[in-house]
Amino acid sequence: MGLIKIFSGEEILAVSLKKILEESNIMVVIRNNNQANVLPSITSAKAVELFIQETDFGKANPVIEEFRLSI
């Protein structure tokens, strides 16, 4: 089994969803490809992505849907 992307968006929302999922005992991998620290002249922030194990999707889906409805 592999990882599946469950969220792509602003960092503050990604961190909030990650916290909620981890409280439900779901391991979350966060990927932030923002190069602003490497090249300060670049101001375009890239989306932060969250990934979970495919096997956790059934357990995570209700949590994700509730989060999406709340934003």
pLDDT at 43: 56
Q: Give how far the C-alpha of residue 15 lies from the chain's centroid of Cα atoms, to the nearest Å.
A: 7
Q: How many CB atoms lie within 10 A of CB 43?
A: 7
Please say if the pLDDT value at position 13 is more than 90.
yes
Per-residue pLDDT at 33: 73
Q: Cα–Cα distances in Å, from 35 out to 16, 18, 39?
A: 22, 21, 6
- Tell me the three state secondary structure of residue 64: helix
pLDDT, residue 41, reads 57
What is the per-residue pLDDT across 16-71, written as a single tens digit (0 to 9) for each? Answer: 999 999 999 999 999 987 655 555 555 556 789 999 999 999 999 999 999 999 98
Q: What is the pTM of this model?
A: 0.81
- Amino acid symbol at 15: V
